[in-house]
Amino acid sequence: MILTVTLNPSVDRALEVDALVRGEVLRAADSHIDPGGKGVNVSRALLANGVRSTAVVPAGGAEGDQLVDLLKGEGVDMVAVPITGRTRSNITVAEPDGTVTKINEAGPTLSDVEFAQVSEAVLTAASSADWVVICGSLPPGPTVAAFSDLCERLVKSGVRLAVDSSGPALLAGVAAGAALVKPNREELAEAARTELVTFGDVVRACELLREAGAGTVLASLGAAGAVLVDDDGVLAGTSPVSAPRSTVGAGDALLAGFLAGGARGEAALVEGLAWGAAAVSLPGSRMPRPEDLDCTSIRVDRNPDRNRQLRRD
């Protein structure tokens, strides 16, 4: 079982418009409301493909009730921890060419007591988990030290920890000895304190995170694919998408597919890239199902040209 932890979940409304024009009244061609948050998306993707997962989420207010109802509606097993604040709502506006504009609320402040309650819920549920996957940004309130303590307690318990976050939270996961970290291009550049222009830059930045304590680094690079650096070496993969609709949740689908594929080596990277590409082809933050997946278009290079420049999305 894969346990996901989303410390700052959301209710996500996605709107599709012909063009985003500032100051105009726009009519949406379509709209979707989905449970949101990176860890929530990982659980949704796993569930959609028959992989057992449980999601831990703090939830509060009417939006928190809506989040729980949406998760129940999708059949997601969850541990909802009540909080006094209001669960945030996010808005995504998608255009026909795949351009996505997101407006994210900061989210509710978690008190020290509430974060401790969430941590205990995670540690309790982790006793029956193969992986604990902590995803997304820290909400207002919890300190990096408190988050570090949670990561360290999980690692010491013997569970395999994966962290998909940014800034100090990502570095805390690395320092705690997470078995897997999954930064995107910007998060990796920030963590390694370097500009990422070439594949060689990405590989070196991943190696720096491994030297700092991380086991495996899976770096998602948007349209440039992904790079995997672990004990077996370096793999680079690409997943072309002919008709992109929304990039929301694509990195989460990539992580879910990688974990479902065994979390090691070429087969897992191919699976992850196929899940990520499928998510880009779907509206809003919809997660792919088996019928959406196509591994035949995935290309993996065991010896990527480290001088090759990264393409921009």
Cβ neighbour number for residue 164 with a 10 Å cutoff: 28
Which pLDDT does position 1 carry in this prediction? 96
Which pLDDT does position 312 carry in this prediction? 66
Q: Which two tokens stand for residue 148?
A: 């570090």
Beta bridge partners of 271: none
Which pLDDT does position 129 carry in this prediction? 96
155 assigned to some structural domain: yes
Q: Pick from 268, 207, 194: which is nearest to 234 by CA?
A: 207
Cα angle: 265, vertex 271, 275; to 5 degrees: 145
Only one residue has tokens 């988050």, namely 147
- Transcribe 208-250 into DSSP letters: HHHHTT-SEEEEE-GGG-EEEEETTEEEEEE---SS----TTH
Per-residue tens of pLDDT for the chain, all 313 residues: 999 999 999 999 989 899 999 998 989 888 889 999 999 999 999 999 999 999 999 999 999 999 999 999 999 999 999 999 999 999 989 888 878 898 999 999 999 999 999 999 999 999 999 999 999 989 999 999 999 999 999 999 999 999 999 999 999 999 999 999 999 999 999 999 999 999 999 999 999 999 999 999 999 998 889 999 999 999 999 888 877 777 778 999 999 999 999 999 999 999 999 999 999 888 877 899 999 998 888 999 888 878 888 876 5
Q: What is the C-alpha separation between 47 and 235, in angstroms, rounded?
A: 27
310 assigned to some structural domain: no
| In the chain, alpha helices (H) | 38-48, 61-73, 112-126, 144-156, 167-175, 185-192, 199-211, 250-260, 265-280
Q: What is the C-alpha separation between 24 and 160, in angstroms, rounded?
A: 49
| Domain that includes residue 69, residue range | 2-13+29-301
Q: What is the C-alpha separation between 236 and 36, in angstroms, rounded?
A: 29
Q: Which two tokens stand for residue 307?
A: 């001088």
Using CA of residue 201, residue 206, residue 207, residue 211, what is the dihedral sign?
A: positive
> In the chain, what's the furthest Cα-to-Cα distance?
54
What's the pTM?
Answer: 0.92
Reduce the DSSP state of residue 48 to 3 states and report it: helix
State the first-to-last Cα distance of the chain, in angstroms, to the nearest integer: 34
312 assigned to some structural domain: no
Q: List, by residue number, the catalytic residues.
A: 252
Phi-psi region of 83 (alpha: psi -120 to 50; beta: other; left: phi over 0): beta
Buried b (16+ CB within 10 A) or exposed e, 66-92: bbbebbeeeebebbbbebebebbbbeb
Q: Which two tokens stand for residue 54?
A: 């449980």
The amino acid at 295: C
Please count the structural domains in the chain. 1
134 assigned to some structural domain: yes
Specify the CATH number for the domain of residue 130: 3.40.1190.20
Residue 95's φ and ψ, nearest 5 degrees, are -105, 160
18 assigned to some structural domain: no
**Do the Cβ atoms of 310 and 227 come closer than 8 Å?**
no
233 assigned to some structural domain: yes
20 assigned to some structural domain: no
Q: What is the DSSP letter of 157?
A: T
**Do the Cβ atoms of 1 and 260 come closer than 8 Å?**
no
Q: Pick from 89, 29, 34: which is nearest to 59 by CA?
A: 89
